Amino acid sequence: MPIPQIETSPVGNERDLHRFVMLPWKIYRGDPQWVPPLIGDTKNMLRPAKHPFHRHAEVALFLARREGEVVGRIAAILNLRHNEFQEEKTGFFGFFESVNDPKVSGALLERAAEWAREKGMDRLRGPASFSTNEECALLIDGFDSPPCVMMPYNPPYYATLLEAAGFAKVKDLVAYNLTRDDANEERLRRLSEVIAQREQVVIRPIDRHRLMEEVDLFNVVYNQAWEKNWGFVPMTEEEIVHMAKSLKSVIEPDLVLFMQKNGNTIGFAMALPDLNQAVKHANGRLFPIGLLKILWHARRIRKVRVLVLGLLKDYRGRGLDVLLYMHLYRNGLRKGFNEGEFSWILEDNVAIRRPLERIGARVYKTYRFYERPL
């Protein structure tokens, strides 16, 4: 009996784009931890006219078929801004999904590698959908709970598929979890009081009525505070505005904090309600009743994700991060939240990991970036 051939082809029209976006419903059928993404948002992210990432990047989408059936997908990505900032020649792959067949995943990854090689790249890294500023890395540990908002999720066998295709670890990321039962509240309170008295800083919530001005302040802190991090690429002003507009309706002002000293902004922290807990009930569609389901279940969200916390270089190592954590913790409890995820954090970022562990947080998920030379 002949072995079915795997065919890979570019996404060339709206029908193919729909197949590309809908494939996860086949891959994750029956998986209770998977959170279906919103179909319309995913399509718009992949349309060059709809998402600002495409202004400084090239993206090619590919489908894998076996006997005519779509069984895998991948995006090959050339992020010009990353390569300029990091002084690399790195191609990326993202939006990777595959049935548990190394022939399918191997064909997709080789197609992405060929595309990146033709662009002059010397390595292929991923997954990144699209970059470290969006969902990135592969979940390798912590499959017993659903992903937080804007964090990836995948079947456990994906790591085996990537390694079978010649990919190896380049960097791990970790996610910490903290519940009120585990939090060392007394230690956190004592530390924050000492630091607040010593540093004399002001912490204030975001002003949603001055959103664009606040976005400008965030931009300055973000691009300075993270510039030395592995894999970091500065967001363009257009990307930051796009992100702010998409999050405007879901942010809790008391969970988006600016730290100031002598009138200057020196730090920033942002936590978001884990909207995934509500979005999963819509099964990818807002209409006709998906939006109502999201609004109904959003009232019961009790978890947040702390996705950004950073300080300008001259203010690190002085405990100011603990002060931001304390404000987020207190404000979160007052809003009815009793659990938080801190993600993601580089495995070797001891300066961030130690304070979290001291207040009772524990690593509960690990993600991995893979890479293969071209």
Q: Looking at the predicted structure, is the pLDDT value of residue 105 above 70? A: yes
Q: What angle do CA 56, 305, 174 make, to 5 degrees?
A: 75
List the chain domain ranges.
6-175, 177-366
258: pLDDT confidence band, cut at 50, 70 and 90? very high
- Residue 286 identity: L
- CA atoms within a 13 Å half-sphere pointing along the CA-CB vector of 137: 26
* Peptide bond between residue 4 and the one before it cis (omega within 30 degrees of 0): no
**pLDDT single digits (tens) 278-316:** 999 999 999 889 999 999 999 999 999 999 998 998 998
Residue 29, classified by CB atoms within 10 Å of its CB into exposed (0-12), middle (13-18) or buried (19+), is exposed
Strands (E) in 99-246, as ranges, are 123-126, 128-129, 135-136, 138-141, 168-179, 202-205
Q: Looking at the predicted structure, is the pLDDT value of residue 74 above 80? A: yes
**pLDDT single digits (tens) 298-308:** 999 999 999 99
Distant-in-sequence, close-in-space partners of 214: CB < 8 Å, separation ≥ 6 = 206, 207, 208, 258
Say what the pLDDT of residue 110 is: 98
177-366 has the same fold as 6-175: yes
CA proximity to 45, closest of 139, 73, 37, 16: 37
Q: By three-state DSSP, how is residue 269 classified? A: strand
Q: What architecture is the 177-366 domain classified under in CATH?
A: 3-Layer(aba) Sandwich (3.40)
Strands (E) in 42-195, as ranges, are 57-66, 69-79, 90-98, 123-126, 128-129, 135-136, 138-141, 168-179
Q: Looking at the predicted structure, is the pLDDT value of residue 2 above 70? A: no
* Peptide bond between residue 127 and the one before it cis (omega within 30 degrees of 0): yes
Q: By three-state DSSP, how is residue 4 classified? A: coil
Contact in structure between 223 and 234 (CB atoms under 8 Å): yes
What superfamily does domain 6-175 belong to in CATH?
Gcn5-related N-acetyltransferase (GNAT) (3.40.630.30)
Contact in structure between 316 and 281 (CB atoms under 8 Å): no
**pTM of the predicted model as reported, rounded to 2 decimal places:** 0.95
**pLDDT single digits (tens) 241-251:** 888 888 888 88
Portion of the chain with pLDDT greater than 90, in percent: 79
**pLDDT single digits (tens) 30-59:** 999 999 999 999 999 999 999 999 999 999
Say what the pLDDT of residue 124 is: 98
